[in-house]
């Protein structure tokens, strides 16, 4: 009887090792990541005229502008970390950087349709992927161990409003966006990617661009309702795709709740600091006409907070690296459950 606790301990330890080993093997069975979408996952595809290539972008990591729409890492890099691989090379640099971990086709500012940014939309991005497959850059075996990550974070809706379209017509436009997104997800899967992960939309009304009218004190209710409607429709589309293709083939990440939970935690943790107000961005234009990264006649037209690591939002639309890390931390368990594995690798 004296040895019973010791035996139980050894049994539990052995069970944990077996479970962990199986989870690790499962996570590493995915060796390539193909990324599609916008600035939430873009790691350098936009040309050098984009703000992501201007100071102070990249100030936290890598310490200089690197084409990321943040002060450091963006969501796709955290997702690659979960897979246990390096962040895939942007399509733009495919000929000068390694492509063994997949490829990133995302372009900041784009959507499923044409937006205000002259860059490849989702349809064209998938076309670029298809072209590389036709060129045999990736084999069928490569694709069997791959995941696609898809981000549509609201640029279609920003363009809709900027063009002066009626708010009364927004629900119908949201329906058309989600319908096209569903077709895009199916197309990616049909090209041979066995697991397609789509990010739900974040609480649009909580982005600094829409909270500044309230002095960054509260979220815009209309924006959040639009986001919830988008996510409701997308949930239905993903469920239909699962029925048609297989339960495990498509995964939707709840970015809305992840943002909300991460923002609440940030507010609780920052206490009375300068950036207690979670909705206030770290980098802002000096005037209402200026934006983060703007320079005029060699003069900076923006201000940066003392410590970006203490801020949740970086600029008018994007989280800081710390914000993305907080969002990823909230999503860890749900991703683990969706993939029936544990998360390995971290920044």
Would you call 315 a catalytic residue per the annotation?
A: yes
Size of the chain in residues: 347
User: Known catalytic residue: 318?
Assistant: yes
d(CA 171, CA 69): 28
CB 195 within 8 A of CB 30: yes
User: Any idea which residue has 């119908």 for tokens?
Assistant: 172
Task: Select which of 39, 52, 81, 291 is catalytic.
Answer: 39
Catalytic residue among 73, 189, 230, 318: 318
Indicate which residue of 42, 71, 156, 315 is catalytic. 315
Strand partners, 251: 197
Q: Interior CA angle at 294 toward 48 and 321, to 5°? A: 75
**Facing residues of 104 across strands?**
35, 90
User: Residue ranges of the alpha helices (H) in the chain?
Assistant: 4-27, 75-83, 122-134, 140-144, 155-162, 170-190, 208-211, 221-245, 255-270, 321-339
User: Which residue pairs from 119-125 have beta carbons closer than 8 angstroms and sit at least 24 positions apart in sequence?
Assistant: 119/45, 119/46, 122/36, 122/37, 122/150, 122/152, 122/180, 122/181, 122/184, 123/184, 125/36, 125/37
Catalytic residues: 39, 315, 318
């Amino acid at each position: 009887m004296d040895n019973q606790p010791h035996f139980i301990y050894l049994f539990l330890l052995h069970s944990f090792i077996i479970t962990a080993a199986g989870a690790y093997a499962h996570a590493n069975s995915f060796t390539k990541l193909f990324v599609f979408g916008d600035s939430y996952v873009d790691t350098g595809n936009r040309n050098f005229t984009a703000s992501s290539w201007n100071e102070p972008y990249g100030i936290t990591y890598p310490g200089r502008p690197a084409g990321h729409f943040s002060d450091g890492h963006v969501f796709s890099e955290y997702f690659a970390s979960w897979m246990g691989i390096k962040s895939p090379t942007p399509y733009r640099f495919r000929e000068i950087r390694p492509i063994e971990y997949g490829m990133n086709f995302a372009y900041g500012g784009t959507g499923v349709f044409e937006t205000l940014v002259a860059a490849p939309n989702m349809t064209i991005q998938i076309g670029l992927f298809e072209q590389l497959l036709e060129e045999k850059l990736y084999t069928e075996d490569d694709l069997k161990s791959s995941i696609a990550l898809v981000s549509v974070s609201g640029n279609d809706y920003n363009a809709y409003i900027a063009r002066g379209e009626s708010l009364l017509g927004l629900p119908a436009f949201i329906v058309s966006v989600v319908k096209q997104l569903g077709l895009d997800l199916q197309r990616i899967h049909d090209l041979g990617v066995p697991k397609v992960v789509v990010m739900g939309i974040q609480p649009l009304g909580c982005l600094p661009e829409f909270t500044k009218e309230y002095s960054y004190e509260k979220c815009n209710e209309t924006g959040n309702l639009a986001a919830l409607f988008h996510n409701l429709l997308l949930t239905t589309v993903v469920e239909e795709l699962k029925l048609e293709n297989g339960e495990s083939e498509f995964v939707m990440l709840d970015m809305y709740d992840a943002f909300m939970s991460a923002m609440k935690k940030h507010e609780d943790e920052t206490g009375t600091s300068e950036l207690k107000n979670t909705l206030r961005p770290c980098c802002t234009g000096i005037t209402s006409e200026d934006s983060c990264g703007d320079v005029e006649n060699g003069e900076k037209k923006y201000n940066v907070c003392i410590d970006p690591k203490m801020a949740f939002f970086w600029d008018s639309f994007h989280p800081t690296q710390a914000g993305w890390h907080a969002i990823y931390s909230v999503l860890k368990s749900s991703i683990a459950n969706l993939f029936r594995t544990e998360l390995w690798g971290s920044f």
